[in-house]
Structure 1
Amino acid sequence: MENVLDAQSVEVTAPVEQVQPGDEASALPVSDPAQNQAEEQQQPDEPAEEGSIVVEASGNHPPGDPIAQINEQTYTVVASIDQAFVEPVALAYRDALPSPVRRGLSNFFRNLREPVVFLNFLLQGQVGHAVETLARFAVNSTVGIGGLLDVASADPINLPFRENGFADTLGFYGVQPGAFLYLPLVGPTTVRDGIGDFLDTLVLPLAVGRPFNTPYYAVTAYTIRSLDERVELDDRYRIIRASASPYDLMRQIYLCERQSEIDTLRGREAEDCVDTFRLDEPPPQPVAPEADEVAPQAEPVAVEDQGVEPADQPLDVLPAIEPQAQPQ
């Protein structure tokens, strides 16, 4: 029959359900953020392309350095000032004063530390070293002309200077260094060492008084000791400056030497920090630009290079060419 529809020619479509505007969000598939995060963590890391540089960031600070970012920023500023101002002044100080004069000033201020060294050896119970330190102070203060000459270190006395202080005494009895600090005008230190160094500076002003308690002496002594130390450690400054991470290297050297000093006082085997960080090697020298690196000048081009044969005779001896007569 004509009114009978062919089932194969009829397209049956499902009724379209109209979505209300408020139901658009509900029509989308819902995903659990926690599940997505877990799936991302389970996915293996994609390998980096060959030749690419992978940088891994970490918010963790080095052990014992909770304010590493502030310390490093302070060190960067101080190192720039040192290179621009302090280093030239220290090298001028080295060149202006003869070596015996500089050595005499260094001996004088080191001799003034002997009472602090003596007191801390007593606090540590090392009576033998305390007696030797007292003998050094007596000999150098008299025969050594107020400490300008280190007579006690030479033959036949042979009493070398031993570094010691309240920071060493605190470490001797097991006080931990605490947080590492880098302070302007002080340099690298720790909480323990900062307290100990402050106590060291109080011994002479409180025990003797004038002139050690005057600002004039404090500023003069600090300036001379700082310049002398800067000259003595100039190679080390250059090595640290040329390293890939100057702040980290400076920090590691300081902590190594402080721990080595305390281990020596305790009679333990101390690490050789000079050998560990290769501080005895000559520092890298700045490379001056060579003459070959200057932009080369254009070389004169030979006639053969242009494809033109050179003239057999100079121009001034070539035969003159007579002008041809014009036709009438």
Structure 2
Amino acid sequence: MMIVLLAAALASAAPTETGVAQNASAPAAVDASQAAQGQPAPAGVAGASAPDAAPDAAMAAPPPVAPEAAPVVSSQATASEPAATPAPATPARPQTTTGAPIVVEGRTKAPPGDPVIKLNMASYSVAQSVDHAIIEPAAMGYKKHVPSPIRAAVRHFFANLTEPVIAVNFLLQLHPGKAAETVGRFGINSTIGIGGLLDVAKTKTFKLPYRVNGFGYTFAYYGVKPGPFLFIPLVGPTTLRDAIGLGLDRMVLPLVVGGPLRSPYYVASSFVVRSLNDRLAADEGIREARASSDPYTSTKNAYLAQRQAEIDELKGHKHKVAPPAEPVPAAPGSGEPAASAPSGGPAAPAQPAAPTTPPVSTPAPGQAPAANPIP
């Protein structure tokens, strides 16, 4: 009986303890949930989490674990925070080399063979101004108003007067055969050619062409160097060697012949006429030099090259250039350029990059030749 009453008492008391335990664990669960969300616990529930009740509640029912919530970005916080400012770009530093520094220097020294280039360029500039203003118009007027046969006769007359000097220099160069031919030219043109007005000696009957020679050529023939380049007014481009030779050429004939050749009227008139003829003969070369990027250097190089070619020919050193290979005609209508035929001989030397005269095109059969413009 006592056992039955004790069991009944325990059965009636068990629900009460369970309910108290549940009521005591409810505030703890709420506190844990709010703590996980970062919210403070309510004031009415704070007293339920007393130190003496917390162990019993924790033992009775453990608090449920709240799932991890995704972080929520508040729009107000985003708007209030300043936008991230990108860091300023660092300017690129120039690359430096570890070697020696590069130094750019202007050319202060005169080029080889032209030690007085500043004086020559000044003289060339003055000569070009005089040529533009006086000499070129006079030469063109002389060409326009004086017929070509008369101009040729005057040119032959003064060229015939240089034949004795040319013959003397051929003798000095140990060329007696050419000296004899030059004397023969002088005699034929002075008689049959009416005092040298007509160049009869160069015709097929006599076959005695005019040859250039003088004391400047004789100096070069025996190895005298040209010396510094000079541009002398009323003379033009020359060298120290050729200027001395030209002076001797002009002095020998008046000293030997004398008479009218020493007259100042003859000297002045012959100088004017020869200058006009020389200006007309050199007109094409002067135009080409003016059209170049450096007229002074072009004039100097053209003179030195021509002078050296004449000296080489005088010594018998003729520079023979191998003729180009005959072109192979292209197939009709193919539009391909003609190819060069293979040659069994040595290759021709390279041609200069910038020709002094424009190339002359060969017209096709039935096509009129194109006019070649003056540079």
Task: Please list every run of 5 or more consecutive structure 1 residues that lacks an aligned counterpart in the other structure.
Answer: 1-39, 47-54, 286-328
Q: Aligned equivalents of 1:176 and 1:204: distance in 2?
A: 25
Change in 2 beyond 3 A, CA 1:91/1:152: same
Name the SS of the counterpart of 1:231 in structure 2: helix
Change in 2 beyond 3 A, CA 1:284/1:143: closer
Q: Which of 244, 250, 261 is residue 299 of structure 2 equivalent to?
A: 250
For residues 108-155 of structure 1, the C-alpha deviation after alignment (integer angstroms, 9 at most, x for no partner) is: 000000001000000000011001101111100000000000000011
Q: Which of 327, 330, 355 is residue 278 of structure 1 equivalent to?
A: 355
The aligned residue for residue 114 of structure 1 is 163
For residues 184-240 of structure 1, the C-alpha deviation after alignment (integer angstroms, 9 at most, x for no partner) is: 111111110111000001111110111111211111111111100111221111111
Q: In the alignment, does 2:165 pair up with 1:88? A: no
Q: Which of 67, 92, 100 is residue 43 of structure 1 equivalent to?
A: 100
Q: Aligned equivalents of 2:203 and 2:356: distance in 1?
A: 26
Any conservation in 2 of the 1:172–1:262 contact (CA below 8 Å)? yes
Q: Structure 2-normalised TM-score?
A: 0.60
For residues 68-98 of structure 1, the C-alpha deviation after alignment (integer angstroms, 9 at most, x for no partner) is: 1110111011112212221111000001100
Pairing of 1:96-245 with structure 2 (within 5 A): 96-245=145-294
Q: Aligned equivalents of 1:186 and 1:283: distance in 2?
A: 29
RMSD: 2.3
Q: In the alignment, does 2:117 pair up with 1:68? A: yes
Structure 1 residue 262, shift from structure 2 partner: 0.9
Change in 2 beyond 3 A, CA 1:85/1:283: farther
Q: Aligned equivalents of 1:223 and 1:105: distance in 2?
A: 12
Change in 2 beyond 3 A, CA 1:228/1:126: same
The aligned residue for residue 36 of structure 2 is none
Letter in 2 for 1:278: P
Question: Larger radius of gyration, structure 1 or 2?
Answer: 2
Letter in 2 for 1:227: L
Change in 2 beyond 3 A, CA 1:193/1:45: same
The aligned residue for residue 314 of structure 2 is 265
Letter in 2 for 1:111: N
Any conservation in 2 of the 1:260–1:271 contact (CA below 8 Å)? no
Structure 1 residue 65, shift from structure 2 partner: 0.5
Q: Aligned equivalents of 1:213 and 1:268: distance in 2?
A: 38
Q: Aligned equivalents of 2:248 and 2:154: distance in 1?
A: 23
For residues 252-296 of structure 1, the C-alpha deviation after alignment (integer angstroms, 9 at most, x for no partner) is: 011111111111111112499xx96734436656xxxxxxxxxxx
Q: Aligned equivalents of 1:64 and 1:41: distance in 2?
A: 39
Any conservation in 1 of the 2:284–2:374 contact (CA below 8 Å)? no
Q: Identify which of structures 1 and 2 has the higher relative contact order when contacts are C-alpha pairs closer than 8 Å and 6+ apart.
A: 1
Count of residues paired in the alignment: 237
Any conservation in 2 of the 1:256–1:271 contact (CA below 8 Å)? no
The aligned residue for residue 312 of structure 1 is none
Q: Aligned equivalents of 1:185 and 1:63: distance in 2?
A: 25
Q: Aligned equivalents of 1:72 and 1:279: distance in 2?
A: 22
Any conservation in 2 of the 1:240–1:246 contact (CA below 8 Å)? yes
Q: Structure 1-normalised TM-score?
A: 0.68
Q: Aligned equivalents of 1:91 and 1:129: distance in 2?
A: 36
Q: Aligned equivalents of 1:192 and 1:43: distance in 2?
A: 45
